[in-house]
Amino acid sequence: MSIMLQDVSKTFGNFIALDRVNLEVPDGELLALLGPSGSGKTTLLRIIAGLEVADSGTVLHGSEDITEYSARDRKVGFVFQHYALFRHMTVAENIGYGLRVRGAPKAKIRERVDELLNLIRLEGLQTRYPGQLSGGQRQRVALARALAAQPRVLLLDEPFGALDAKVRQELRQWLRRLHEEIHVTSIFVTHDQEEAFEVADRVVVMNNGRIEQVGKPDEIYNHPATPFVYQFLGNVNRFHGHIREGRLRLGDTELHLPEQRGLKDADVVAYVRPHEIKVRAQSGGSSVIAAIIKHVNAAGPLVRLELERTDDGSRMTVELTKEESSQISLQPGCQIFVELKNVRVFSEDHPV
């Protein structure tokens, strides 16, 4: 079942939690809502679930307007960060709970519970209590419980947030495989970009109650639409400068960026990722930046350099492959020259 949000807004007192959000989630998609704490992810999820009422806007399931429907009538399955399993019920009773309260026949419940135990690969554990399961197993049971009544949409709020890193990693891959099997339209909230990129078909990046960008993981990584997305994805150098007719001036350096001709005469911030900076021992032209090596960290698959620009004293981070680093002497205190590749420019007054 597809989901469509049209101009959805929500305020709490004076605080705007969601500001005219528009989003379409096609049937069968696994979508991640990604953003920092307070960006509105959970509020959006709760509005889709019917657990929160929007101030304005419309929520559609397929072509059906469900804005006024209660949570129960929306046929959504919900999984929360904290397992919310009933402690006094066994795994099988937990999974079958939703069907039981709807008055489904016992044989039917048993059949569905067996099917779900098989799906979550926990056959044989049906008589255990939640306290006798690991955190990862409990979340799988919570997911089976959410799926029991065959929801049209599955909503997951930081489903792996309370688990340790290794279990999280395993469950991500598990969720991906599970989704490939069941293909229920699913939306999950996370503040972890690695998780979003690894699991989701598409990712929605949220900030301050608004959607900054929607796209496939590689589109978002390779083409961040806004300064916020660049910075949220982390690990990026910012250079303040001025652009005029495709020529970007950064301190003593001038770069020719013909594709940026749209920015006529403006103060800008240029974004360059650490691995998109090349280093060399000799200057060779006005498009390189002179810098002093402050720190070298070679403990890892890449060599990380902390550099200080000679012209304005600002810092930048560079990442080199071992091979690149072996071709140049990298001693702290030495001068080197850097060349910026794949520079992305935003005007200075672009909201971050």
H or E segment and range at residue 59: strand 56-61
Could you say which of 29, 32, 40, 303 contacts ligand ATP (CB under 6 A)? 40
C-alpha closest to that of 33 among 173, 167, 126, 159 = 159
Shortest approach of ligand ATP to residue 31 CB, angstroms?
15
Under rule CB under 6 A, residue 12 binds ligand ATP: yes
| Segment interacting with ligand ATP (CB under 6 A) among 10-18, 115-123, 315-323, 328-336 | 10-18
Could you say which of 17, 148, 175, 200 contacts ligand ATP (CB under 6 A)? 17
**Contact code string over 175-194 relative to ligand ATP, x by CB under 6 A:** ----------------x---
Closer CB to ligand ATP, 12 or 86, in the complex: 12
Under rule CB under 6 A, residue 86 binds ligand ATP: no
Neighbours of 347 (CB within 10 A): 14
Beta bridge partners of 287: none
Q: Tell me the three state secondary structure of residue 28.
A: coil
* Nearest-angstrom CA–CA distance, 305 and 318: 5
Strands (E), 197-301: 202-207, 210-215, 237-244, 247-250, 253-256, 265-272, 277-280, 289-297
Beta bridge partners of 238: 271
Under rule CB under 6 A, residue 74 binds ligand ATP: no
Tokens of 140: 């799988």
Under rule CB under 6 A, residue 96 binds ligand ATP: no
The CB-side HSE value for 30 (13 A sphere, CA atoms) comes to 21
| Segment interacting with ligand ATP (CB under 6 A) among 34-42, 177-185, 214-222, 316-324 | 34-42
Could you say which of 37, 63, 70, 331 contacts ligand ATP (CB under 6 A)? 37
Could you say which of 1, 25, 32, 39 contacts ligand ATP (CB under 6 A)? 39
Binding site for ligand ATP (CB under 6 A): 12, 15, 17, 35, 37-43, 191
